[in-house]
A and B are shown apart, each in its own frame.
Chain A
Amino acid sequence: MRILPLIISSIVTTGLVIALNTTLLLPAPLGKLLSPQHGVWQNAESSQASFSEELKLPQLTGKVQVYLDERLVPHVFAETDKDLYFVQGFLHAKFRLWQMELQTHAAAGRASEIVGKIALKHDREFRRLGMVYAAESSLKEMEKDPQTKLACDAYTEGVNAYIASLTESSLPLEYKLIGYKPEKWSNLKSALFLKNMSENLAGHDNDFEMTNAKNYFSQEDFSKLYPSYQDSLDPIIPKGTIYEKPSIELKVPADADSIYLNKSDLVVTTQEEKPDRNNGSNNWAVSGAKTKSGSPILCNDPHLGLNLPSLWYEMQLHTPQLNVYGATFPGAPSVIIGFNDSCAWGVTNGGRDVRDYYEIKFKDKSKKEYWYDSAWEKTEFRYEAILIKDSATYMDTVAYTVFGPVMYDPSFSGGRASNSRYFSVRWKAHDKSNELKTFMQLNRAHNYADYLSAISNMKTPGQNFVFANKAGDIALRTQGEWPAKWKGQGDFIMPGTDNTYEWQAMIPFEETPFQYNPTRNFVSSANQDPADSSYPYYLGRGYPLYRGIIINRRLQNMNDITPKDMMALQTNNYNVLAEMATPLLLNNINEKGLAVNEKNLLRLLKAWDYNNAPNSRGATVFDVLWKNFSKLVYDDEFKNAPAVILRPYESTLLQGILSDSAYKFLDNISTPEIETMTDIATVAFKNSIQELEKAQMEGSIEWSKFKDTRVNHLTKLEPLSRLHLPIGGGTHSINATKSNNGPSWRMIVSLTSKTEAYGVYPGGQNGNPGSRFYNNFIDHWAAGNYYPLWMMAAGEESSNKVQWKMSFTN
């Protein structure tokens, strides 16, 4: 034996193995990662891969058959609910485990465990918002209901059965790349997933920004810049609807006018960009009187962040008592948007303000006692240990008052609150509720009464639930458990030293605006105001108006409607804001002295048909011009404003200039002259030239290239994302596809005796980036095409649509 060479070469080998098995020397454990039998190669799914399998799982009570069709959509046939949801959990995990865990970690403020320090601010924010606290109180409510508990328990068992079957080589790709392993699923995680949706859809407020605006502007300017009702409003429940006298009499605090609605000192000093969260959605249903078949057609397209793997996973769930098809959430049991043999339903976000802040007066820095109703009350504390990858654990202490957690305090401003004061958040999503029951019941609904009973469980996030059934009913309800607010309540930070500013009651279910078989033969919603100003409760402001206007205009004029017509409508790129704004801008742009190319650009706008078509150049000119126009109108007023402030909504500007040719804010207050619409429109156009000419030079003047829609992988890693999609639309079009937000699931259901349904989402059924099913729907979606949705019936097992079969036995 040659000792020295043996030792040296052994050390070299060991060193190599250690270097290649860890991240001590290399940025990635390349040996582990590239081993063909362990690493990422194992995630390279063969294009001939078979998904057929026979599985023996003792947790099951009987047999379950899963038929996977050519798009990898599972059609699950089980004998009992328990087995059904077990297999749903198993399949969600099999195809989407990594995203389920990532999203629930993020919801719980645990993202730092995976990605390290960069997520600490996110984690602190979510812990201070009380996400886990909210999920825990939801879970209690969910587990009180036997049906929900059974579904959640079975679902969790199914997810965990899949996790238990994982080996090093079968781990999802992202776990290997980032270098960690999945933990067990739990019912709390399903609750967290749903709370994450609440945060996404009902976790938006402008209270600090509005408080600053109120303090900065004169009362007259403030009411012009931030009106609560818009003139062109076409609410979800049409104007002229008569509302009963409200059953709740709200007591407006005696000092509201003098203290709350009047000026106070500035709250905010810091500046940080707030994420733009313009989630919107469309849904509508037409009655048989307007369709060719004589049966109702229901349509829905929820607009959300466009991500890979997609938020949605398509499924059919079948037992002897249940047959439902639609989009499911990997992370929770049941179908969320879909249809069964009797009816169909869909949602758009309600968007009312259900998150308010109260300023808390603590006795001292220990935060142990706070002043409330003329006494010092004891604070409760929640201690948050935030584990951080490659760093020491971060300890955060969150005080809870009668209102809720103290989200912002001197240790955490969230980029919007003051660094010297304390603000408790009162968030509707903290209240006890069981939203999952809504979907469990909708999946089994037969008629209008079932629908009402199902959606009465939907408290937060409030949603506009559209409904249609084969009996010919159509309905829409602006559902949610909404706080009854007096006018202005919760628009600004409220005093938290007594109960006078608290939410006094919830609006009773019976007083929720709704429509059931209306004479206009259609119902629709697109996140606009639920009702007009005759509705007796305060509805706040900031609802998007324009998609609703164009949807109603089109539906009004459509007859003999077919599903194909609905596809055209759902993918319609018409920009109704541009239709209203362009003529006025064009009339006022002074063409004298424009250079040749400037005239050419203006000609593009003149020739434009207001369609945000993918190849439209006029749409790009309008977009840039409108942006510059808006800047020019308001920049002078906001020049010295606090950084954390709300800019007026686009609808406010448009209404302003349409209704008043001498709109007050057109004048540039930093110049002695009084500027007119002509001055401002002309300068705005000139200000747009540089950006437009740059786009021309770079070949991105066409709208789809200019807008540059992408579907990001959840890590934002570009190779796993789909970039530069050739798709039109935009914020104010029915096809509300923005750069990274848009129709996340398009569905059309014609409720003929044999249901005819179509759908598509920008993703694919398999979350594995190494699968050909990872993003195979995206091009189809971008082109505005749909897939027929196949509601498989018993006896169709040998249909050529069935590609693979998974057999589960106990």
Chain B
Amino acid sequence: MKFIVSVLVIALLSLAAGLFLPWWTIAVVAFVVTSLIPQNPLRSFLSGFTALFLLWGALSWFISSNNEHLMASKVALILKMGNPIIMIVATALIGALVAGFAALAGSFVRRK
């Protein structure tokens, strides 16, 4: 239950923060959330990881399919990512890794 709540809260707060603040506030969000909702380090990591993997994956997929992948099919080649799917997965993974490690750090704040 805690896991699902953490994932949801991290994802929603990251989405809200992203509207006004720089992209890396996802790390701040994940850190704060896991420091307030205590879980073991692995679960904390996974909640940050999952939240941003889903959020960034879904957002980029949604944007790109509305765009008929016009932008991604061009930029994926420039970034040497081959195609839009790889670019979407890379996007999701980058968000996931940053949030995951921040969430891991957060989990150590209250742990004895």
Contacts and interface: CB of A to CB of B under 8 A. Distances in A.
A47 B94 contact: no
A40 B41 CA distance: 33
A23 interface: no
B59 interface: yes
Contacts of B71: 40-41, 43-45, 173, 769-770
Nearest to A2: B108
A238 interface: no
A211 to B, nearest CB: 44
Nearest to B19: A37
Nearest to B57: A36
A411 interface: no
Nearest to A10: B105
B75 A30 contact: no
Given A13-B31, A37-B18, A47-B66, A769 B74 contact: yes
A37 B101 contact: no
Interface string A508-528: 000000000000000000000
Contacts of B74: 719-720, 769-770
Nearest to B73: A719
Interface string B47-82: 000000000100110011011101111110111000
A44 B94 contact: no
A41 B41 contact: no
Contacts of B102: 13
A48 interface: yes
B72 A36 contact: no
A791 to B, nearest CB: 31
Given A41-B71, A720-B74, A771-B70, A6 B63 contact: no
Contacts of A17: 24, 27, 98
A196 B72 CA distance: 33
A41 B98 contact: no
Given A9-B108, A34-B60, A36-B59, A45 B87 contact: no
A33 to B, nearest CB: 8
B68 A36 contact: no
A177 interface: yes
A37 B79 contact: no
A109 interface: no
A35 B56 contact: yes
Interface of B is mostly: helix
A46 B67 contact: yes
Interface in A334-362: none
Given A30-B90, A34-B94, A40 B75 contact: yes
A428 B50 CA distance: 65
A366 to B, nearest CB: 48
B74 to A, nearest CB: 4
A772 B73 CA distance: 13
Given A5-B41, A13-B27, A44 B67 contact: yes
A34 B90 contact: yes
B107 to A, nearest CB: 8
B109 to A, nearest CB: 6
Contacts of B56: 34-36
Centre residue among B75, B104, B105 by max chain A CB count within 10 A = B75
Contacts of B41: 5
A41 B24 contact: no
Interface string A12-43: 11001100110000001011111111111111
B75 A37 contact: no
B108 A44 contact: no
Contacts of A47: 66-68, 70
A717 interface: yes
Contacts of A9: 101, 104-105, 108
Interface in A751-780: 769-772, 774
Contacts of B59: 36-37, 41
A1 interface: yes
A720 B76 CA distance: 11
A168 interface: yes
A2 B105 CA distance: 10
Given A36-B59, A44-B63, A6 B70 contact: no
Interface string B1-36: 000000000000001001100111001000100000
B98 A1 contact: no
Contacts of A168: 22
B100 to A, nearest CB: 9
The 10 closest A-B pairs by CB, nearest first: A770-B71, A35-B23, A37-B18, A36-B59, A44-B71, A44-B67, A6-B108, A9-B105, A719-B77, A13-B101
Interface of A: 1-2, 5-6, 9-10, 12-13, 16-17, 20-21, 28, 30-48, 168, 173, 177, 717-720, 769-772, 774
Interface of B: 15, 18-19, 22-24, 27, 31, 41, 56, 59-60, 63-64, 66-68, 70-75, 77-79, 87, 90-91, 94-95, 97-98, 101-102, 104-105, 108-112
13 contacts: A13-B104, A17-B27, A34-B60, A35-B56, A36-B63, A37-B19, A37-B59, A41-B63, A41-B72, A44-B64, A47-B66, A173-B75, A770-B71
